Amino acid sequence: MNHISDYIQSRKSRHPGEPFNAFIYDLGELKRNAARIVASLPAGAKYFYAIKANSDKKMIETLLPIVDGFEVASLGEAEKVREISGSADIIFGGPGKTDVEIENALRLRVSLLHVESISELHRTNWIADRLGMKANILLRVNLRGPLPSGTLQMCGVPSQFGIDEADIPQAIEITGSCPNVSLRGFHFHSLSNQLDAPQHAAMVGHYVERARKWQTQYGFDLRYVNAGGGIGINYEKLEATFDWDTFVRLLGHIIEKEPEGNARCPEILFECGRYTAASCGYYAAEVLDIKKIGDSSFAVINGGLHQFLLPGAWKHRHPFFIVPVDGWLYPLSRIEINDQPVTIVGRMNSPRDILARNENVARLRIGDVVVFPYAGAYGWSISAHDFSSLEHPEFLYMS
């Protein structure tokens, strides 16, 4: 974290009197992390970046030569990728696609379209026919379970995602009568923020076995099993985050496993956003005020959940550290607290705008900067940017 502290202190010294409020993206860290992940995957696996985690243009540009492509969940996201690359592989998913989205996804030459329902299957075939095109599709499967538990469950419980596992045979048969779609495999994205590597590998193995069984029953060309994303970050205990090395070792065994009959192992696709981008981002905001209410101390920062919603949305204790800023321009005493708990709050006119609650600090002064690491994914992108029409943060980039 020293390089971030030095960067903030240097910037504050160049711009004294300007309250600091920024997302800082370490593009070097992003590049190293993505390169490590992709290089470690066994042959037969590909890695896509899910841009809903963070669709910042510079981050997409940084990842373009490293990852195998991008996963998008809207036409707007697909257009962002195409603004940067006319040829990058794109896989397009998400429930409730409009006709306009399907049509323009095909015009933008997405590599794979994830079909989320039998109705969407028929519409995709109809739209592709009107365009004189053929859509390469994966059927998204809502598995019945039981499945491992994650922070967010998309399958194993009733949800709006995918086609009920019981209806997949019908969907496969329908593809045979749809001349403008080509069934290439299945999409399984069952949960989010999985922290148990062996469980996650076992789940991917289950996906592959299920897909092969349908291939054997219905005799189509199974090319891909998209295992989705869902690999998590333990924000409260960063050193105990997902064991990637164990996961890829077990993944290798799944790919090498002798298939039934003559069926080759399909290519396994991953579409990870959080695990790719989280570690490269920092949310930093200057302390504007410190006050004591009863027995509690509060530090009001130049920001809040309207910019960095993640701690509030996920209800976890997000780590933070303090960058001391020694410059003090006011002819006034500087309030500080020492070796005591503080609740860090933002500028929204809401009692829910709390980023950290009763966390002990050694020293914190008005004018110091509070920094939340692991803010590169689902930080700015999921926040209520225009709540109360408060200012947007700066976006700063380190290489």
pLDDT at 107: 98
**Spatial separation of the C-alpha atoms in residues 24 and 132, rounded to whole Å:** 45
Q: Helix (H, G, I), strand (E, B), or coil: what is residue 210?
A: helix
Q: Say if residues 276 and 34 touch (Cβ distance below 8 Å).
A: yes
pLDDT at 391: 93
Q: Which of 215, 237, 272 is the last residue of a domain?
A: 272
Q: Say if residues 217 and 173 touch (Cβ distance below 8 Å).
A: no
Q: How many CB atoms lie within 10 A of CB 21?
A: 22
Residue 140: pLDDT band with limits 50, 70, 90: very high
**Spatial separation of the C-alpha atoms in residues 209 and 216, rounded to whole Å:** 11
Do 287 and 262 lie in a common domain?
no
Global pTM? 0.93
In a domain, 130, yes or no: yes
Residue 315: pLDDT band with limits 50, 70, 90: confident
pLDDT at 152: 43
DSSP string, 243-311: -HHHHHHHHHHHHHSPPSTTPPPPEEEEEESHHHHGGGEEEEEEEEEEEEETTEEEEEES--TTT--HH
pLDDT at 147: 59
Do 192 and 134 lie in a common domain?
yes
Q: What is the mean pLDDT of residues 4-11?
A: 93
Query: What is the sign of the dihedral through the CA atoms of 306, 308, 312 and 317?
Result: negative
**Spatial separation of the C-alpha atoms in residues 274 and 309, rounded to whole Å:** 15
pLDDT at 292: 96
Do 286 and 268 lie in a common domain?
no
Do 257 and 380 lie in a common domain?
no
pLDDT at residue 262 above 80? no
In a domain, 29, yes or no: no
Q: Say if residues 303 and 354 touch (Cβ distance below 8 Å).
A: no
Do 267 and 292 lie in a common domain?
no
- Number of domains forming the structure of the chain: 2
**Spatial separation of the C-alpha atoms in residues 164 and 245, rounded to whole Å:** 33
- What's the N-to-C CA distance of the chain in angstroms? 15
Residue 314: pLDDT band with limits 50, 70, 90: confident
The domain that holds 111 is classified in CATH as: 3.20.20.10
Q: How many CB atoms lie within 10 A of CB 44?
A: 15
Burial class (CB in 10 A: 0-12, 13-18, 19+), 65: exposed
**Spatial separation of the C-alpha atoms in residues 205 and 220, rounded to whole Å:** 20
Q: Which two tokens stand for residue 155?
A: 């399958």
pLDDT at residue 61 above 80? yes
pLDDT at 1: 73
Do 268 and 284 lie in a common domain?
no
Contacts of 169 (CB under 8 A, 6+ apart): 214, 217, 218
Do 323 and 231 lie in a common domain?
no
Tens of pLDDT, residue by residue over 110-130, are: 999 999 999 999 999 999 999
Tens of pLDDT, residue by residue over 339-382, are: 999 999 999 999 999 999 999 999 999 999 999 999 999 999 99
| CA-to-CA separations, 229 to 52, 100, 214, 271, in angstroms, rounded | 12, 26, 22, 5
pLDDT over 70, % of the chain: 95
Do 170 and 228 lie in a common domain?
yes
pLDDT at residue 137 above 50? yes
Q: Which of 247, 272, 297 is the last residue of a domain?
A: 272
pLDDT at 150: 46
pLDDT at 15: 85
Residue 255 lies in domain: 89-272
pLDDT at 158: 63
Do 160 and 248 lie in a common domain?
yes
Residue of higher predicted confidence among 158 and 274: 274
In a domain, 357, yes or no: yes
pLDDT at 146: 60
pLDDT at residue 323 above 50? yes
pLDDT at 159: 73
**Spatial separation of the C-alpha atoms in residues 268 and 227, rounded to whole Å:** 7
pLDDT at residue 154 above 90? no
Q: Which two tokens stand for residue 285?
A: 């905001």
pLDDT at 156: 53
Tens of pLDDT, residue by residue over 223-254, are: 999 999 999 999 999 887 899 999 999 999 99
| CA-to-CA separations, 62 to 22, 46, 165, in angstroms, rounded | 20, 18, 37
The crossing angle, in degrees rounded to 10, of helices 99-107 and 118-131 is 50
Residue of higher predicted confidence among 215 and 193: 215
Do 6 and 93 lie in a common domain?
no
**Spatial separation of the C-alpha atoms in residues 255 and 240, rounded to whole Å:** 27
Q: Say if residues 161 and 187 touch (Cβ distance below 8 Å).
A: no
Q: What is the dihedral of CA 337, 342, 347, 352, to 10 degrees?
A: -160
**Spatial separation of the C-alpha atoms in residues 265 and 269, rounded to whole Å:** 12
Q: Which two tokens stand for residue 237?
A: 């205990």
Residue the block writes with tokens 């496993």: 257
pLDDT at 259: 63
